[in-house]
Amino acid sequence: MSPSQTPKNEQRGWIIPIGGGDRKVRSSPILKRLVELSGGKDARMVIIPTASQLDTAGQRTRDVFKELGVTDIEILDIETRADCENPEFLEKLNAATGVFMTGGNQLRLATTIGGTSAAKALRHANARGVHIAGTSAGAAFVCEHMIAIGKSGGTPKRGMASLSPGLGLTNRVIVDQHFRERDRVGRLLTALAYNPFATGVGVDEDTAAFIGPNDIIEVFGSGGLTILDPSGIEFSSMADTNMGAPVGLIGVKLHILLSGDRYDLNSKQAFPGGDT
């Protein structure tokens, strides 16, 4: 499920994976910027709490957007694949200017929404300019290649990460969330060893990667963004390594970016805040 083609003379919306830590995110500039991009007080926000098993997840998120001045807020309680074909839900997705997916379990998102009319509506919406954000599980789900499950640790190992299809808003990155807090560099490196075409984006809590329509990532929040660039890999032992054994990788480039820094997915260059 590759990204939908952007219509002529239009610009793709921002893709915004957030690393989690929702209590901090509420008071950070991340959601404020999402609202500004989506139209400010005129924004039409749609919340998808599918990843969460908490009945209050959608309402809690609605309260945050209300505090930011948004009045037009819809919660889509998508619990089954049949819900994804609901014409009323699809109409609300088509009318949105911004979409927010809560945290929880990314496999709930993938198995419930993947391959449905709701997934197609989300991809088409982003292609025509709607901004789509997700925190924690929602962050993992935005890309084509999603880390479904995995283990903590700093050294990549065969089998350390399992991938499944995500929403497919972008095929340029693989996102991992709660990154430094849960020591996930090894599993992101494992995912990249499986698929060295993509760039790894490890997002700390209370931090977001704002991926623009020009494929430049801007960092917002109080934590860091770890960029793992496998495009220069000279050697990988993945194919010859036993299950559970460490994987050797030579030639991976690493960047640690903070709020205001940027990364160009096309040129593979990082820029400190203030540089052009």
What's the pLDDT tens digit per position in 188-209?
999 999 999 999 999 999 999 9
pTM higher than 0.85 for the full model? yes
Identify whether the C-beta of residue 133 lies closer than 8 Å to the C-beta of residue 34.
Answer: yes
Q: Among residues 4, 38, 52, 136, which one is catalytic? A: 136
Q: Among residues 205, 218, 236, 259, which one is catalytic? A: 205
pLDDT in tens, 64-115: 999 999 999 999 999 999 999 999 999 999 999 999 999 999 999 999 999 9
Identify whether the C-beta of residue 227 lies closer than 8 Å to the C-beta of residue 33.
Answer: no
User: What value does the mean pLDDT take over residues 162-173?
Assistant: 96
Mapped onto helix, strand or coil, the DSSP state of residue 86 is coil
Active site residue 124: no
CATH architecture assignment, domain 15-265: 3-Layer(aba) Sandwich (3.40)
Q: What does 118-184 look like in DSSP terms, one character per residue?
A: HHHHHHHHHHTT-EEEEETHHHHHTBSEEEEEE---SS-BTTSEEEEE---SBSSEEEE-STTTTT-
89 to 6, 100, 107, 214: CA distances (angstroms)? 22, 14, 21, 30
Active site residue 136: yes
pLDDT in tens, 18-27: 999 877 666 6
Position 129, amino acid: G
pLDDT value for 4? 77
pLDDT value for 27? 66
Give the chain's mean pLDDT: 94
Produce one character per residue of 33-47: b if its CB has 16 or more CB atoms within 10 Å, e if not.
Answer: bbbbbbeeeebbbbb
pLDDT value for 54? 84
| Closest by Cα among 168, 79, 80, 163 to 121 | 168
Mapped onto helix, strand or coil, the DSSP state of residue 17 is strand
Active site residue 145: no
| Closest by Cα among 231, 252, 249, 257 to 19 | 257
**pLDDT band, residue 157 (cuts 50/70/90):** very high
Counting beta carbons within 10 angstroms of the beta carbon of residue 276, is it exposed (0 to 12), middle (13 to 18) or buried (19 or more)?
Answer: exposed
Let me know how many helices (H) and strands (E) the chain has, helices first: 8, 17
**Token pair listed for 242:** 């036993």
Q: Among residues 28, 145, 178, 259, which one is catalytic? A: 178
pLDDT value for 114? 96
